[in-house]
Amino acid sequence: MVISAQPWNDVRPALLEAVAVSVRFGSVEALATIDLEIRPGQLVALAGENGAGKSTLVRCISGDMVPDGGEILVGGRPVTSRPGAMARRGVAVVWQDLALCDNLDVASNLFLGNEGRSLLLSETRFHAKAAALLEELRIPLRQTSQPVASLSGGQRQLLAVARAMRDRPELLILDEPTAALGVAESAQVEELIASLHRRGTTILLVSHDIEQMFRLADRIVVLRHGRVVADTDPASTHPDDVIALIAGQEVDASARTQLSRLQGLVDRLRSADPASSLTLILSALGTALGTEQLALHIVDGDHLRAEGTLGLPPTLRRALDLLPVGPEGGPIGRAAAMGETVFEPELRTSGAWDPWRPLVAAARLAASFSVPVMGTDGVLGVVTVFRQHPGGPLRDELDLVTLYAGHAAAALEREQLLGQVTARNRVLETIREVLETLAGPASTGQGLLLALQSLREGLWADEVGLLCRAGADGPIDSRAVVNDLGPQPAPSAALAALAEPALAASDGGTPVLTAAGGRGRCWSASAAPPGRRCWRPGGAATTSRTTPRPCWRTPPTRCAWPSSGRKPSAPTGRRRLCDAHSNYSESSCPD
């Protein structure tokens, strides 16, 4: 089976062609009629197990080995098998063993075999030219007189690549450039490879690092048992599929794995408590993506509240706990404001994470993308995926995050619906308690206090009062006022201010029932009997209804929870509350 994916539609002639190349070692067929094309400016990754034929193919391309069959063409012309023929045609190779001389310094290794008379006669010019070459390639080796034996593995690899780029080759072949390097050194080498690619250098990269291929390559060619089994586009291929091709397994195995994970997640969500659903979804997404750094933020008014994080250091987690919606909230805030995915493929050069740059650098995060969680009425939250290597997400990775974000949206809306049902049940229970209190044996005054106390608890309010005024300009008086300390002789200044518009509109003749601090909202309604003229939000005097209709207001600032300590089941925005009382506009609520 051969998978061919060539979305680039490049009509330029191939820079390098391997046509029906075959190599045998006795009875072992190392290469079996290999066909390969590399076009100018492409970065092609060569993947395969040990023994798949990668090194043999590279030796044939570089002129180090003469194939038993087929031919190698550069620029459409066959290349002879004479020593140095490929180098003269603009092909340079950096072998895995680097071929550096430890007893020489950096400059001597750079120009080894190509010193020239002018450089040999002037040590100053010799080192100046070496420093200029390293500076041009942006390689951080400043001491050209430093012995190569004292360099780290990453520095030695950078030096070998610089030597290969000395004569501006048309094709650069890299044989396992990061195989023996650590994470930081590999990142340095990858940055150099990406820089050369951006400058237009054609590169053939031999590697065992699947993630590295997907970060760097335009194409991935998979070899197995000396044959090309796939030529794929990384943008439309999953890493698991490449691994399956290398191992000779079915390509759709990864798709079945993802499907099984999703089915398992759906089964768990069906029986899970709503409060734990988001944690399950975040954990399942991390497993599906194979990443350890994730964050899920929920829209809470004008802010984003971190509902869950995965793999982030405590300091960064605390810094991202509460973010404003909009550009001030970084990529996460922008994703929530725009309702679109925000990509940050290179955090080291992007200014989007500047407010948190030291924390991001300490966590070794190099890229991120933030996907909005879209609900029925708009953005409910944002899922952010962090990466330790630069680069954007693959297409199917983005689709996968969007799919899990849909599960998160369903869980959030389910939680909100349960919260609304709970709130309505609480209102009904409050009404029942008020009616039972008023119908009980208590005196009118005592019954009124008990009813207001039940109402305060039902509304999660800090203070509730039945207020009136003797005359249009008289002082505000209270029939009854209760707060978390019990009955009070007089209303607080805040409660009196909230009741003032309603009292003014009713000419002081109608008592006004007012609540303050209920989950950060206010409530005020006249207590006139049917047929009496009473205050309506907006300032107009209208005939009252049998059941006064309240108006709610969410202030722009964050409010503390009521002193009772009960936290509401889910935050509710200004628009949804005013929609519930459609006869009133939010601007009509008293300030």
Q: Give yes or no for a contact between 254 and 240, defined as CB atoms under 8 angstroms apart.
A: yes
189, containing H or E segment: helix 183-198
Q: pLDDT by residue (tens digit) across 294-332?
A: 999 999 889 999 988 888 999 999 999 999 999 999 999
Q: Measured between alpha carbons, how far is residue 210 from residues 46, 48, 425 in Å?
A: 10, 10, 55
Residue 563, token pair as written in the block: 């002193």
The HSE-up count of residue 268 (CA atoms within 13 Å, CB side) is 16
Reduced to 3 states, what is the DSSP secondary structure of residue 97? coil
Q: What DSSP string describes 38-81?
A: E-TT-EEEEE--TTSSHHHHHHHHHTSS--SEEEEEETTEE---
Which helix (H) or strand (E) element contains residue 331?
Answer: helix 330-338
Fold of the 3-90+169-251 domain = Rossmann fold (3.40.50)
Cβ 366 vs Cβ 389: under 8 Å: yes
How does pLDDT run across 140-196, given as a tens digit for each residue? 888 898 999 999 888 888 998 988 888 888 899 999 988 888 888 888 889 999 999
- Taking the C-alpha atoms of residue 203 and residue 312, their distance in angstroms, rounded to an integer, is 35
Per-residue pLDDT of the chain in tens (591 residues, 90 and over written 9): 445 544 445 567 889 999 999 999 988 999 998 999 999 999 999 999 988 999 999 989 888 888 999 999 988 888 877 767 888 888 999 988 888 898 899 998 888 877 777 777 778 888 888 899 898 888 888 889 899 999 988 888 899 898 888 888 889 999 998 888 888 888 888 999 999 999 899 999 999 889 899 999 999 999 999 999 999 988 777 787 888 889 887 665 455 565 556 666 566 656 666 556 787 788 878 877 777 789 999 998 899 999 888 889 999 999 999 999 999 999 999 999 999 999 999 888 888 899 998 999 888 899 999 999 998 889 999 999 998 888 888 877 888 888 888 888 888 887 777 777 777 777 777 777 777 766 767 677 777 888 888 888 877 788 988 888 776 677 888 888 998 888 888 888 888 888 888 787 766 567 777 777 755 456 666 555 444 433 333 333 332 333 333 333 333 333 333 333 333 333 333 333 333 333 333 333 333
Helices (H), 371-479: 395-438, 444-459
User: In whole angstroms, what is the distance from residue 523 CA to residue 577 CA?
Assistant: 12
Domain positions in the chain are: 3-90+169-251, 255-416, 442-588
Fold of 255-416: Beta-Lactamase (3.30.450)
| CA end-to-end distance (rounded Å), the chain | 72
Q: What is the C-alpha to C-alpha distance for residues 505 and 536, in angstroms, rounded to an integer?
A: 8
